[in-house]
Amino acid sequence: MFSVELLLNALIAGLLLGGFYAAVSLGISVAFGLLDVVNIAHPAFIILGSYAAYVMNVSYGYDPIVTGLIFTPIFYLLGVIVYWIYYASFEKKGEDPLRGLVFFFGLLFIIEVSLLLKYGVDYRLVEAAYIGQSIRFKGIGIAMRLLVPCVVGVLMTLALSLFLSRSFYGRAIMGVSQDSLAIRLMGANPMRIKTIAFGVGIATASLAGALLIMIGPVEPSIGREYIGRVFAITVLGGMGSVAGTLLGGLVLGVVESLTSTFYGPSWSPAVSFGILLLALAVRPAGLLGR
């Protein structure tokens, strides 16, 4: 069954999937990688983003990407509020991080149940002219439904990377992640910087959700399927490394795609997580971690 054409198609499909994986993992990379906040509710925020895209698409015919951009500031504010509550209830008191985990578990359920009560349990999809279309070139096929999320995912990674390395607040976030005490000694307020960082992390969920509902149908609890995957990508790429998240996503996407094509799709999770274990054995800090 092996052919060069099949191999090239599998590689391209894997890269496209990887770009999307990076988009859904960026928020975790910021919260977990930079702030040490185990935000397992992040996939639920992504689903919230998907529903925002769905509602705007069905009601006003908005393109999901446009909706994702419109809702980004709203998600940022949502992230800020969530972090305030988390900080006041757990971090400030120096509570065990496990209790914070319970907080985010609770948040996950609240978002899921709220969506369930409002929109029911039916699967939701969006419509856009490019969904279902593909570009074909000499036996190579590129599905627009995957190309658009990949491009947007890469652009999101680039934007976040530039923000963290070039802007004042971005550098401050990197500083807090490296040495919170030093930032405090310099007269800055780490809590304020962490709030901005967490808000940025949740803001990425708006676009990530829009990308998710472009790829396939969504229902309120589907976010749970991504919890393991997004944490694995963050760890594989290197904790706190945004470029590493993109690389981790691409590696996982390509491995899944090649396994599905040549060996059988049911093996793809085992091979992907096998690669994760192998990578961590060789580089415990992750691919681009320090």
Partner 1 sequence: MMRRWTYGIRAWALIAALIGAFVLSGAWAAGAQTAQPIRIGFGMALSGGLAGNGKAALMAMQIWKEDVNKKGGFLGRRVELIYYDDQTKPATVPGIYTKLLDVDRVDFVVSAYGTNLIAPALPIVMERGLVFMGLFGLANNQKTNYPYYFQIMPSGPDPAVDWTRGFFEVGMKQSPKPTTVALVGADAEFAQNALAGARENVKRLGLKVVYDNTYPPTAVDFTPVVRAIKAANPDIVFIASYPPDSAGMVLAAHEVGLQPKLMGGGMVGLQFAALLTKLGPKLNGIVNYDFWVPEPTLRFRGIEEFLKKYQAQAWKEGVDPLGHYLPPFAYAYLEVLGQAIEATKSLDQKKVGEYIRAREFDTIVGKVKFGSNGEWAKSRVLQVQFQNITATDLDQFMKPGKRVVLYPEELKSGNLIYPYSKANP
> Which residues contribute to the site for partner 1 (CB under 8 A)?
1, 3, 6, 9-10, 13-14, 16-17, 20, 116, 119-125, 127, 131-134, 136, 141, 143-146, 215-219, 221-222, 225, 229, 256-258, 260-262, 264-266, 268-269
Among all chains, which residue has been given the structure tokens 């999770």? 269
Q: Which is nearer to partner 1, 215 or 251 (CB)?
A: 215
Angle, alpha carbons 34-172-91 (nearest 5°): 50
Here the tokens at position 93 are 């008191």
**Dihedrals phi, psi of 2, to nearest 5 degrees:** -70, 135
Q: Which is nearer to partner 1, 34 or 275 (CB)?
A: 275
Tell me the one-letter amino acid at 183.
I
**Beta carbon of residue 26, minimum distance to partner 1 (angstroms, whole number):** 17
**Beta carbon of residue 268, minimum distance to partner 1 (angstroms, whole number):** 7
- CA–CA separation, 279 and 283 (whole Å): 6
Q: Which is nearer to partner 1, 6 or 102 (CB)?
A: 6
- Cβ within 8 Å of residue 27, ≥6 positions away: 39, 42, 45, 46, 201, 202, 204, 205, 208
**Beta carbon of residue 220, minimum distance to partner 1 (angstroms, whole number):** 10
- Cβ within 8 Å of residue 87, ≥6 positions away: 191, 194, 195
**Beta carbon of residue 251, minimum distance to partner 1 (angstroms, whole number):** 15
Q: Which is nearer to partner 1, 14 or 237 (CB)?
A: 14
**Beta carbon of residue 270, minimum distance to partner 1 (angstroms, whole number):** 9
Q: Which is nearer to partner 1, 43 or 170 (CB)?
A: 43
